[in-house]
Amino acid sequence: MFITFEGMDGSGKTTQAQLIALALRGLGWEVLLTREPGGTPLGDQVRDLLLQKNSAPMNPAAEFLLFCASRAQLVNEVIRPHLAQGGIVICDRYTDSSFAYQGFGHGLDLDYLRHILDFATGALYPDLTVYLDISPKEGLKRRAAASLFGEEINRIDEMALEFHHRVYEGYRQIGLAETDRWAQFDATRSQEEVQRAILTLLQTRAPALFRTHKTRSK
C-alpha cells in the first residue's frame, strides 16, 4: 500500500506520518517512511537546490522539473522496490504537492504537469492520501513559531501569502476531484486526536492491514 501525506506548511503532516509509520510497524508491517523532495542521495542534493533560501532565482517550470527529477529517482530507487516486496510506503508529500504548489500556486498548466508527472513516476499514484487541513495563515504562524526552536524556514515558505492561498485552494480542488483516495483531517485538533482519526480511517479503508499483523510479524 502506498500512502501519501499532504498539507500546507505547518500542518503537522511530518509528525503524523511518523506516528502512523510507527503504528503500522507495531502491527508487524515493513514500513518505509520517506519524504519529498529528497529520500535518495540524488534527491537530497536536488532538495538543497530547491529549498535553500540563497539559491539563484528559479523559474517555476525549472522548479517543477527539479521536483520531478527528485521524484523520478525516489520512485525508481526506493518506492517501487519496497512496494514490490509487499511493504507499505508512506511518503511525506508527493505529486499532489506539485499540483498544489507549482500548478495552482505558480499557475503552471495542470495538463502539462500531469503528463510530465506520469513520465517521472511511471504513473504511480497513491492508494490513499491523508490531507491535513490547515489555513495558510495558521500554518505559517505555526511554522514561524517552530522556527524559534530551530526549524528552518525554506525558500517556498517565504513566498507571499497570496501564493499560499492559491496552494490551499489547489488542495481543496484536488480533494474534490480525487474523492476515492483523499481523506481530509482537521489539522487544528490535537496531535493525539488527529492520529486517532487517521488510524480509524485506515481501519475502515484498509482493514487487512490490521488483520494480518500476526502472520506478518513472525
Q: Which is nearer to ligand TYD, 32 or 209 (CB)?
A: 32
Question: 119: which residues sit within 8 A by CB, 6+ positions away?
Answer: none
Binding segment for ligand TYD among 79-87, 92-100, 111-119, 193-201 (CB under 6 A)? 92-100
Binding of residue 101 to ligand TYD (CB under 6 A): yes
Residue 6 touches ligand TYD, criterion: CB under 6 A: no
- Rounded Cα–Cα distance for residues 64 and 103 (Å): 9
Q: How near is the Cβ of 217 to ligand TYD at its closest, in Å?
A: 31
Binding-residue pattern over the window 10 to 39 for ligand TYD, x denoting contact by CB under 6 A: ----x---------------------xx--
4 is an interface residue for ligand TYD by CB under 6 A? no
How far apart are alpha carbons 33 and 13 in whole angstroms? Answer: 12
The span of 117-125, 126-134, 149-157, 198-206 binding ligand TYD (CB under 6 A) equals 149-157
CB 3 within 8 A of CB 80: no
Among residues 39, 21, 38, the alpha carbon closest in space to that of 30 is found at 21
Terminal-residue alpha carbon distance, the chain: 20
Least spacing, CB of residue 210 vs ligand TYD, in Å:
28
Q: Are 33 and 67 in contact (CB under 8 A)?
A: no
